């Protein structure tokens, strides 16, 4: 029994050490303030902070993938806009919680740490996350407003909304409430500037596409796609893909035709070759191909076009 107890203690200490190392590896970004070191700071800033009252009702994964329906937009805009005082109190609380968590974390020794020490740091970070979520929720109306103004035929609501939420989160982490100006002004410039840059980049990409020689991808040499696929199957697949290719935008069409060698030549371009032609990264070409294939699959559902799956899964 004594041996088992010692083994249990060792395992328990290893678990605590692992938690401590994760906390030490974690980056805690906060905007410091002289008032944080005051003896009464904790009472004045945190007061009767209640962790159960800061439920956003919408997690981050939902924020970055929510569809642009009128019902969803209405739900996102329900939260009241923060007053100047509420805004300042929330940002002061957010940064103070991170400040305290960082203080206690600096005292951790992975080789000898107690569960109470770890719980204290983790609870502070959890409370900080709840405050951050509350700021996010109360500013969603701003994101939706900017996205609706910037939306174009080439850049969808969903795409701009997802990027807008991420930009808002970054703005929350970098905002210094002590400077005296409103967060909404700071966030508005950050989100709108990002949206306009994204639209401008999209237009540049379209302009580059239009300058490419027609059917260039079919004349280039490159990898052979599915060399073991019979000629008859390949020709049928090419014909079926051509029937649904109009559901894609111009850039997606170019990528699909080039990658799957639609036409009389059974040659396909590499991601790098397409990236060089379009002036974007190789990873971006891969993402666009995946998006185009997803659209084609949706069109293919329940029809002869199910053969697309045989091509894209090889």
pLDDT at position 32, please? Answer: 92
Asked if residue 22 belongs to a domain, the reply is yes
Q: Are residues 237 and 191 located together in one domain of the fold?
A: no
The answer to whether 101 touches 124, Cβ cutoff 8 Å, is: yes
Q: Are residues 74 and 135 located together in one domain of the fold?
A: yes
Identify the domain boundary among 176, 205, 234. Answer: 205
Q: Are residues 97 and 196 located together in one domain of the fold?
A: yes
Q: Are residues 194 and 231 located together in one domain of the fold?
A: no
Identify the domain boundary among 205, 225, 245. Answer: 205
Number of domains the chain contains: 2
Structure tokens belonging to residue 243: 């029937």
What are the beta bridge partners of residue 268? 223
Average pLDDT score over the chain = 76
Asked if residue 210 belongs to a domain, the reply is no
Instruction: Name the 3-class secondary structure at 202.
Output: helix
The answer to whether 255 touches 271, Cβ cutoff 8 Å, is: no
Asked if residue 212 belongs to a domain, the reply is no
Structure tokens belonging to residue 304: 């002869």
The answer to whether 24 touches 104, Cβ cutoff 8 Å, is: no
Tell me the C-alpha to C-alpha distance, in Å, between residue 50 and each of 94, 96, 127, 173.
Answer: 13, 15, 9, 21
Tell me the C-alpha to C-alpha distance, in Å, between residue 221 and each of 47, 126, 270, 277.
Answer: 69, 55, 10, 14
Structure tokens belonging to residue 138: 């109360």
Euclidean distance between CA atoms 241 and 251, whole angstroms: 16
Q: Are residues 194 and 238 located together in one domain of the fold?
A: no
Residue 141's nearest CA partner among 104, 187, 181 is: 187
pLDDT at position 9, please? Answer: 62
> For the whole prediction, is pTM greater than 0.85?
no
Q: Are residues 146 and 18 located together in one domain of the fold?
A: yes
Euclidean distance between CA atoms 160 and 144, whole angstroms: 9
pLDDT at position 72, please? Answer: 63
Structure tokens belonging to residue 29: 């970004």
pLDDT tens by residue, 194-251: 888 888 887 777 776 665 555 444 334 344 444 444 555 555 556 656 666 767 777 8
Note down the domain range covering 291.
217-312
The answer to whether 125 touches 28, Cβ cutoff 8 Å, is: yes
Q: Are residues 150 and 232 located together in one domain of the fold?
A: no
Euclidean distance between CA atoms 163 and 117, whole angstroms: 37
pLDDT tens by residue, 108-144: 998 899 999 999 999 999 999 999 999 999 999 999 9
Q: Are residues 194 and 222 located together in one domain of the fold?
A: no
Q: Helices (H), strands (E): how many in the chain? A: 15, 0
Q: Are residues 146 and 258 located together in one domain of the fold?
A: no
Euclidean distance between CA atoms 11 and 175, whole angstroms: 42
pLDDT at position 288, please? Answer: 85
Instruction: Name the 3-class secondary structure at 139.
Output: coil
Q: Are residues 246 and 186 located together in one domain of the fold?
A: no
Identify the domain boundary among 165, 182, 205. Answer: 205
Q: Are residues 67 and 132 located together in one domain of the fold?
A: yes
Q: How confident is the model at residue 159 (pLDDT cuts 50, 70, 90)?
A: confident
Euclidean distance between CA atoms 244 and 294, whole angstroms: 12
Asked if residue 211 belongs to a domain, the reply is no
């Amino acid at each position: 029994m004594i041996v088992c107890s010692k083994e249990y203690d060792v395992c328990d200490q290893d678990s605590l050490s692992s938690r401590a190392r994760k906390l030490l590896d974690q980056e805690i970004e906060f905007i410091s303030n002289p008032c944080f070191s005051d003896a009464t700071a904790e009472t004045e800033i945190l007061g009767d902070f209640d962790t159960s009252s800061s439920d956003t009702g919408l997690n981050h994964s939902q924020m970055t993938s929510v569809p642009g329906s009128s019902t969803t937009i209405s739900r996102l805009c329900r939260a009241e806009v923060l007053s100047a005082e509420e805004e300042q109190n929330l940002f002061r609380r957010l940064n103070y919680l991170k400040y305290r968590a960082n203080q206690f974390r600096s005292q951790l020794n992975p080789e000898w740490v107690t569960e109470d020490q770890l719980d204290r740091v983790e609870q502070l970070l959890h409370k900080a996350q709840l405050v951050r979520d509350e700021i996010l929720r109360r500013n969603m109306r701003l994101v939706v407003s900017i996205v609706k103004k910037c939306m174009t035929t080439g850049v969808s609501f969903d795409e701009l909304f997802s990027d807008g939420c991420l930009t808002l989160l970054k703005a929350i982490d970098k905002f210094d409430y002590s400077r005296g100006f409103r967060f909404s002004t700071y966030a508005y410039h950050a989100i709108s500037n990002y949206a306009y840059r994204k639209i401008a980049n999209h237009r540049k990409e379209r302009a580059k596409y239009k300058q490419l020689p027609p059917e260039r991808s079919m004349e280039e040499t490159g990898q052979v796609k599915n060399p073991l696929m019979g000629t008859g199957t390949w020709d049928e697949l090419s014909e079926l893909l051509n029937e649904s290719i109009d559901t894609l935008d111009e850039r997606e069409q170019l990528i699909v035709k080039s990658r799957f060698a639609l036409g009389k030549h059974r040659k396909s371009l590499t991601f790098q070759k397409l990236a060089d032609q379009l002036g974007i990264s190789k990873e971006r070409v891969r993402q666009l191909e995946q998006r185009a294939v997803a659209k084609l699959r949706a069109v293919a559902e329940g029809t002869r076009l199910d053969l697309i799956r045989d091509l894209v899964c090889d």
